[in-house]
Amino acid sequence: MAVKGELLIGEASFIGKGKAFFAVEQTTGNRLGAAFHGATPDDVERAVALSWEAFQAYRETPLHERALFLERIALNILALGDELVDRASAETGLPKSRIEGERARTVGQLRLFASEVREGRFQELRLDPADPSRIPFPKPDLKLRNIALGPVAVFGSSNFPLAFSVAGGDTASALAAGCPVIVKAHSAHPGTSELVGRAIQRAVADSGFAPGVFSLLFDAGLEVGQALVADDRIRAVGFTGSRRGGLALAGIASKRKQPIPVYAEMSSINPVIIFPSALESRGDEIAKDFIGSLTLGAGQFCTNPGLILIVEGRGVDKFVSAAASYIAEAAAQTMLTAGICDAFKGQTAKMEAKSTVTVAGRGFAGTTLEGQAVLFSTTGSAVLEDPELQEEIFGAASLVVRCAHQAELEQVLASLEGQLTVALQMNEADTELAQGLLPSLELLAGRILVNNFATGVEVSPAMVHGGPFPATSDGRSTSVGTLAIYRFLRPVCYQDFPAALTPSAFRLDRGGSE
Ligand code: NAP
């Protein structure tokens, strides 16, 4: 299936009439094929109108049909074969092995949501029967179920061109919930987006659903995404990207006549606390794993370990020099876009220029499109005085914070913004110290790990990939794992409904009890 640069609006595919932009082969900076054209306001209107038309029927599709639909998408993605892997690798600069892994995760995610839909638990069907004899007032019959919110706008992320993009976690969970989806393709991987979009478009047709269940729009600027979020028929937004982008979209959503939820995953530096006993006995091993995690995928993971917290004492100097020697072996890696690479270089240069910061180690230097891994070091008091030291640097850069004592480490922790993850490197002898920190760590992050780094995110019913602001715009949610479906649902109560009027979801054959 060739990449044609076409918008996918319901069942139609055509070249847009908006501004042109090109896909880029990231390792060379060369253009990849013909131009893509953005959607016009009429295209946006058409996609939203179709999604609204499709919504009522789609949200009531029998659960087994909706599950089959998600499985069809997975099969169609696999059927794209090497073409998808080659294109995604070319557009992102990520190695093919990484893209293959991501494809497996994307397909697995769709299948996990299919089984979640079949089970039907997400509907939260609750029956609280009437009690006419209750004194002093008779009790009404109450039933509750979750219903789909409505059409969802999804903004794919640049760093996961499959697993967090067109058919990624946001789309899979919204479709599973019964919401039509309109994706605003990320401009860094438009060809990949089109291929995956066609896989979804075909699955919609093969399932016999209304075509508006899915559309894919391109844009050379920001207008298409902003128009989608402002449209009153769009009822929720899924986003992964920069804090600036997430806040801009959340701002538009909150100013609408009917404000809507924006689930934006934005910025996190994922602190790692290395406790004294672990540092002394396993410093070298921890340093090796830390640098491995930091440099994975050119450091372009939202769960990248960007801050290492340690208390001055035995093993600290050895740890820092071990980490410096491991980072010295790190190859320069192609970054996702020229803009992300420039931002990385600008932010690392700014960090280096600070009088309170020293460069503890660096990886190999690279070309203009490659990022050079870097490890900085500073003190706890410097971090407390300079909030800029806590800003996310997207790429393979991390800051070791040497705290004068445990109380200072706790002060630094208390000063941090909300995080996706916090990781503890600890031995049994560190348990009491860790126990003391746990209550504040629970308030700080969505996931707390022991003796691991956060860059692997398991897709599981028990996963939380979310956290207090600015890790996400709504810390009550997760964008990975089956719990993600609840972002796109809303409870409705049915009081004293006669059987004939009661929604079929409550019938036994639909997973209910009547
Ligand atoms: P981005 O610039 O925020 O873009 C994400 C998506 O939102 C893109 O589709 C973009 O459109 C759109 N967008 C951005 N700002 C917008 C606005 N004001 N109005 C409407 N649409 C808007 O993120 P990115 O390009 O993926 O990466 C840039 C930075 O984001 C990185 O350097 C990093 O700091 C951060 N990032 C964080 C994570 C994370 O997981 N926390 C992941 C990836 C990136 P275009 O496609 O037209 O640009």
The residue among 514, 509, 491 whose CA lies nearest residue 145 is 491
pLDDT digits (tens, 9 = 90+) for 364-386: 999 999 999 999 999 999 999 99
pLDDT digits (tens, 9 = 90+) for 247-295: 999 999 999 999 999 999 999 999 999 999 999 999 999 999 999 999 9
Q: How far apart are alpha carbons 345 and 94 in whole angstroms?
A: 19
Mean pLDDT of the region 166-189: 98
Q: Domains, the chain, ranges and CATH?
A: 7-266+472-507 (3.40.605.10), 271-450 (3.40.309.10)
- Residue 223 — very low, low, confident or very high, per pLDDT cuts 50/70/90? very high
Task: List the alpha helices (DSSP H) in 80-212.
Answer: 81-92, 96-119, 169-177, 190-207
pLDDT of residue 455: 94
Task: Quote the pTM value.
Answer: 0.96
Mean pLDDT of the region 224-230: 98
Q: What's the 300 CA to ligand 1 centre distance in angstroms?
A: 13
**Ligand 1: which of 186, 193, 231, 242 to mutate, most ligand atoms within 8 Å of CB?**
242
Cα 57 to chain centroid, rounded: 28
- Residue 398 — very low, low, confident or very high, per pLDDT cuts 50/70/90? very high
Ligand 1: nearest atom to the Cα of 187: 46
Mean pLDDT of the region 429-445: 98
DSSP string, 379-430: EHHHHHH-GGGGS---SSEEEEEEESSHHHHHHHHHHPPPEEEEEEE--GGG
Q: What's the 112 CA to ligand 1 centre distance in angstroms?
A: 27
Q: How far apart are alpha carbons 371 and 93 in whole angstroms?
A: 12
pLDDT at 508 over 70: no
Q: What share of the chain is helix, strand, coil (3-state, %, to 5)?
A: 45, 20, 35
The residue among 218, 179, 203, 166 whose CA lies nearest residue 35 is 218
pLDDT at 402 over 70: yes
Mean pLDDT of the region 426-433: 98
- Residue 21 — very low, low, confident or very high, per pLDDT cuts 50/70/90? very high
The residue among 8, 453, 428 whose CA lies nearest residue 194 is 8
Is residue 282 within a helix (H) or strand (E), and if so which, with residue range? helix 276-295
- Residue 514 — very low, low, confident or very high, per pLDDT cuts 50/70/90? very low
pLDDT of residue 370: 96
Active site annotation includes 179: no
The ligand 1 site (C-beta within 6 Å) comprises 155, 157-159, 184, 186-187, 219, 222, 225-226, 240-242, 245, 248-249, 265-268, 302, 340, 343, 392, 394
pLDDT at 1 over 90: no
pLDDT digits (tens, 9 = 90+) for 301-352: 999 999 999 999 999 999 999 999 999 999 999 999 999 999 999 999 999 9
Ligand 1: nearest atom to the Cα of 301: 40
Cis peptide bond N-terminal to 136, omega within 30:
yes
**Residue 207 in contact with residue 72, Cβ under 8 Å?**
yes
pLDDT of residue 126: 97
pLDDT digits (tens, 9 = 90+) for 80-139: 999 999 999 999 999 999 999 999 999 999 999 999 999 999 999 999 999 999 999 999
pLDDT of residue 207: 98
Q: What's the 448 CA to ligand 1 centre distance in angstroms?
A: 26
pLDDT of residue 513: 45
To the nearest whole percent, how much of the chain has pLDDT over 90?
97
pLDDT at 353 over 60: yes
Catalytic residue among 71, 102, 265, 408: 265
Q: Indicate the average pLDDT of the chain.
A: 96
Active site annotation includes 302: yes
The residue among 408, 407, 358 whose CA lies nearest residue 378 is 358
pLDDT of residue 507: 81
To the nearest whole percent, how much of the chain has pLDDT over 70?
99
pLDDT digits (tens, 9 = 90+) for 38-80: 999 999 999 999 999 999 999 999 999 999 999 999 999 999 9
Mean pLDDT of the region 293-302: 95
Mean pLDDT of the region 404-416: 98
The residues near 280 (Cβ < 8 Å, ≥ 6 apart) are 313, 314, 315
Q: How far apart are alpha carbons 347 and 370 in whole angstroms?
A: 14
Classify the C-alpha dihedral 385-387-388-390 as positive or negative: positive
Q: What's the 340 CA to ligand 1 centre distance in angstroms?
A: 10
